[in-house]
Structure 1
Amino acid sequence: MTDDGVLNAYSARAAEYTSVLGSIEDTHELDRMCIERWAKQISGPVLDAGCGPGHWTDFLHKRGVNISGIDLVPEFIESARSRFPEASFRVSSVRTLDLADGSVGGVLGWYSLIHLAPTELPQVLVEFRRVLSPQGHLLVGFFEGEADEPLDHAITTAYYWSVHRMSGLLQDAGFEVLDIETRHDHGSRPHAAIAAIARSGTSGPKHISPVS
């Protein structure tokens, strides 16, 4: 889906989204443990890519992480700056990060990639790899299911990804998968998280897997 489509859909419901899902108390305890554990490995600045209303950025900032949050939706960034004034936020797209090559030690992509069409995701992963230092850390969270299948998302079109497919795309983009977590809580869609590091000696993918 285009940036404009996602922007318009979330802008129209940003206040509602923030009130329902914009607090760290609204998140799963296991997700908090996963993200905090991941962040402890990182040296250097961290980017929360697609930070939404900013609660995960604030969560890690309060734990001493040098982190900034970006999001496509100005209403989210305005709310995040107001609610979490000690953290850093700016409007930006995950498709083209306004960062130098190798300039960050970690990228958090927590459910921020779900609206990318299957043909678009590989290049965004390459962009994440570009800004990460060698051995820099990436953590992605997503809905686990049949790869490339759309799902009935409350805001706008989103997609499932299988662990196998996401792992392959990460490897193609220049990452080494370190850890995989999956969970299926009653009444919610299956969840997956993959932690990976940027492979040394490569600044991008050897190839991009075809969409299947």
Structure 2
Amino acid sequence: MTEPSFLTTTRESYDTVAEDYVARIGPLFEQEPISRAMLAAFAEQVRGPVADVGCGPGHVTAHLASLGLEVTGVDLSPKMIEVARRQHPELRFFVGSMTALDLPDGELGGLVAWWSIFHLPPEVLPAVFAEFRRVLAPGGRLLLGFHVGDERLSPETAYGHPVTYDAYLLEPGKVADLLGRAGFEVTARLAMEGRKLPQSCLAARAV
């Protein structure tokens, strides 16, 4: 079966930028107390293992582990997983796609997709959210972070390197509606300003 082009371009681009991505994103995360507060609230509600989907170099995976969670990082980019394993050798990481997670039905107590649905075409989101619901146990917790808007971006460079991916800005109301159709109840919403692109976090429970 032919792989969708958005997966190929995303993988290749993040393989290219991985090392420089780490240098820039890690310090930014340390300057985001509101983001960390959302992750802390998520951690308090979770019962059972957690997947950090689109984990990149593993900084959020490591933060979740520091909050006492049993967490595994998953990323499409083999180079990102290589970096994550090097930086956090005590944690588990594997290469995988959020479009088809290599996890049993109902195995997880929680799933985090922290700014990692950015490169999914909107028409793919219903299937991805259904996949998130599949791997979560009833009552399992989901936390999404994403960039807000209604636009497709096609940058030519990122993190000092050429890239070929597209990126998508999403409207929180539409994302919440899609989550509801996939079997989730949205339990909290947070809007964040002050960055180049507005951001939103949605917390949800599998029903």
TM-score by length of 2: 0.90
Amino acid of the structure 1 residue aligned with 2:140? G
**1:82 to 2:86 alignment:** yes
CA shift for structure 1 position 26: 4.4
Partner of residue 36, structure 2: 32
CA shift for structure 1 position 151: 2.8
| Contact 1:177/1:195 (8 A) holds in 2 | yes
- Show structure 1 runs of 4+ deviating over 2 A: 22-27, 151-156
| Contact 2:6/2:166 (8 A) holds in 1 | no
**1:59 to 2:68 alignment:** no
**Residues 101-160 of structure 1, C-alpha deviation per residue, up to 9 Å, x if partnerless?**
0000000011111100011111000000000000100000000112xx213553531111
Tell me which protein shows more helix as a share of its residues: 2
**1:191 to 2:199 alignment:** yes
Structure 2 Cα separation of the partners of residues 90 and 79 of structure 1: 11
Aligned residues: 196
**1:164 to 2:189 alignment:** no
CA gap of 1:188–1:90, structure 2 versus 1, over 3 A, is: same
Match of 1:125, SS state, is helix
**Larger RCO (CA within 8 A; separation ≥ 6):** 2
| Structure 1, gaps ≥5 residues long | 200-212
RMSD over aligned Cα, in angstroms? 1.4
| Contact 1:21/1:27 (8 A) holds in 2 | no
| Contact 1:135/1:198 (8 A) holds in 2 | yes
**Residues 5-33 of structure 1, C-alpha deviation per residue, up to 9 Å, x if partnerless?**
10011111111111111357445111011
**1:116 to 2:136 alignment:** no
Structure 1 Cα separation of the partners of residues 89 and 15 of structure 2: 21
| Structure 2, gaps ≥5 residues long | none
Could you tell me which of 179, 182, 191 is aligned with 1:173? 182
